[in-house]
Structure 1
Amino acid sequence: MTKEQNPSIRQVKIYSIVTLILIIVGSGVSYWTAGRIDFYTHAVMHTTEVLQRTDQLYSSILERETNIRGYALTGNRDFLTFYNQSNIDAELLLTQLQALTLDNTTQQNNIEELRGLINSRVVIFEATIAYMEENGNLDGFLNPYKVNDALSGYKSIKEIVLRINEVENTLFRESNQVLINNINALPFIVGLISIFSITIGLVTFFSIYQYNKAQLAANKEITLFQEKLRDQIKLLDGSNKELEQFAYVASHDLQEPLRKITAFSDLLNEQYKDKLQGDGDLYLSRITAAAVRMRRLITDLLEYSRAGRIDNEKVKSVKLSKVISEMLEDFEIAIKDQSANITLGKLPKVHGSDTEYRQVFQNLISNSLKFAKSDVNPEITITGEKASPIIVSRYPTLDSNKIYHLIKVSDNGIGFEKEHVDRIFSIFQRLHGKKEYEGTGIGLSITRKIIEKNGGVIFAESHPGNGSTFNILLPSIED
């Protein structure tokens, strides 16, 4: 549907944008105001708590002074019990104050200074208690210097306590004033949001009205498009079935004349080999070799047409380690002939078909054995691990919300140039001549077709002379 056919679509977009802007502005302002109120409420409460702890600490200090004085005058040890408890309370309150003012360097310094003065007083108190316990009175202990020192220490403690309170009172006044300003602004904010809400309601109602008009016309065109799409899908399914049937029939029809060519060439070779003159024997051998290649090509084409077309009913959880182990048993002779060493790591379970994955790894291992170095025993390693999101994100066909397994098939073969990493997966593409390495160039194409059918990707990494690594990404069955 074009803009000329339905100009109201443009209006709906404009109204939707305006509505979204109003919602964002209203929500942002209300959220910002609520956040400031919450922040400064906590700040006021925090400052109040610090002031309470400071008052409690100062009361504890006074109580300790009183208890020491009571013990010194009366010798009653009950005062010492209260004195010891005051020491415990003072230490606890100092620790709490330090924790409450971690973000305030000035207060941390004040508290440390206060702790030092309190500890100095405690040392004097302990000496007083020890002398009192030893002599029963303080005769000879007290002197004008100690009295003045005690008075000076007490004044210093009081001065620091007042200093701590002054800092907190300043913070309290500042935070409280900002809090009051924000609370006073609430009626204005509420009124503004109310206006926003009314405006949003009107704009949204008009947008919906316009959109519904456009939707009625659009639904008609969508219905027509869906009908056409269903017809196209039916035609495509029919074409696919015809192509599949054609590939099957063609391969079987081509097999019959090939069998005759092979049979007659074998008869010629058995009955008339000695009678052939000149290049006759060479021509006959070439006919036989060409027929064998043609049969292999037809078989591979048939495999390619069938690859990735396993019925959904046959799809199940496949244990790759089991599939590969069974496949390697069939390759035992070829592996021994080349003195190859194949190492299997921990491999995952994936969705698919045993037959398909057997074909995948059979093609990859055959490829590694075929392109092994002539003077080095083949080393093939197959491992599995969880794929990183970075690797998955490189391939648009993969779902970034799913978990994938990364299976690697590595060898120490002849390798290939980097520019051929995509070409090797194309049908009939060969990097070497037929005389050097046999094959039709379809194996890796079949492999890619099966992997992609099962929701994965396959890509290769290689360098001439340093072997190759085929990487397979498949979705985890836990998803």
Structure 2
Amino acid sequence: MKNDKKPSIHQVKVYSIVTIILIIVGSGISYWTANRIEYYTMAVMHTSEVLQRTDELYSSILERETNIRGFVITGDKAFLTYYSQSNIDAELLLTQLQALTMDNAQQQNNIEELRGLINARVRTFDATISYMQEHGDLEGFLDSTRVNNAIVGYQMVKEVVRHINDVENELFRERNESLLNNINALPFIVGLISVFSITIGIVTFFSIYQYNKAQLEANKEISLYQNKMKDQIKLLDDSNKELEQFAYVASHDLQEPLRKISAFSDLLNEQFADKLEGEGTLYLQRITAASVRMRRLITDLLEYSRAGRVEVDKITTVKLSTIISGILEDYEIAIEERSAKITVDKLPKVKGTDTEYRQVFQNLISNSLKFSNPDSSPEITISSESASEEFLENFPKLDQNLKYHLIKVSDNGIGFAKEHSEKIFSIFQRLHGKMEYEGTGIGLSITRKIIEKNGGTIFAESSPGNGSVFNIILPELKN
């Protein structure tokens, strides 16, 4: 009878299977919850970006209203320059809002309605400017109907903007609530699965212990099983910790790790510089330099994206050769991995900012590496020459009184069809699926915006399988 009470090998197997199933189920649920956290985090960030763009758009509308009033009151034509820029900013922000809300038909309708109201007010403002420029004042132009229409028009614009914000605020509330629910549920789910797994593990341990006393021949197998169980429990605990860290990182300032890298590299340099051997000092210097460049790049890009334009006092003379040298240093590992050959000829100095041109050439070089031909090593050439007058006649928007550089970035990559030469510069436009090549489809649109903002233009030439050539036309520096 005593032997009948001993657990059988069948019971041990059942307990083991249950434990493994619980671990798999727990890991699966934890993984699924983590993915939900990531999904709602991205959704919250997306909604925040829409709200930010809407605020920027409304600020641009207010700026335009202010500039019109300033011109009417003072007659100073400088206000018209600011007025024109605010119109450009508003159109760009409307386009960005449309792209960001492609999956929301209600917001698309709201944005189209707002675009119509803005265009109507622009037509009214243009008529006011024309009359003011022709007569010197608005006497005979203004009447009660126009004044009332202006007030009503502004109120309608304000109301549509408020409605857009209301929709996004509601989405933000719902998504943020879902995010918090998933974050709050994660520790409970993981803890519950852990308790069940550990409980079953303990039961299994004692079953093995009892069975080992009756079945000495199975001692090695039972011992191995115990070790495996301990490893599984440890893996689950490690997984729990990683998931908790993920939930923290998902809501933490993304720049915090960069600040820590910079701080600790400085401490290493101060305290252990004399103890580093071989290329250790060089590696530490590269870490420090890279963290500084990354911090500056993140800060400048955030400032650029919010401001929409660079202040005049920030424009300097930029050495393109220095910019590209820094980019190639950052891409050193990627270049070596692809056995890429990059040739850089003598490049000119141009007007602008380091951050802008770093982004331009970083986009172009990274695209050449990314869209390289799998059957051959990437070959990239960056050259410069003076653009001829005959060549510049093909670009009537350029100032024909200026001289220009023609900078070419060519490669031997997969290329693209001629009919896509303009599409690639449109925001969020991709020629390949996300599974084929990573990217957001915004890099080249930003590149064109930067080049055109600095008085130039960019166009591409290519054909499938024959590589691509990106032609950048920029004004020469005045002597």
Q: TM-score, normalised by structure 2?
A: 0.41
Query: Which protein has the larger Cα radius of gyration, Structure 1 or Structure 2?
Result: 1
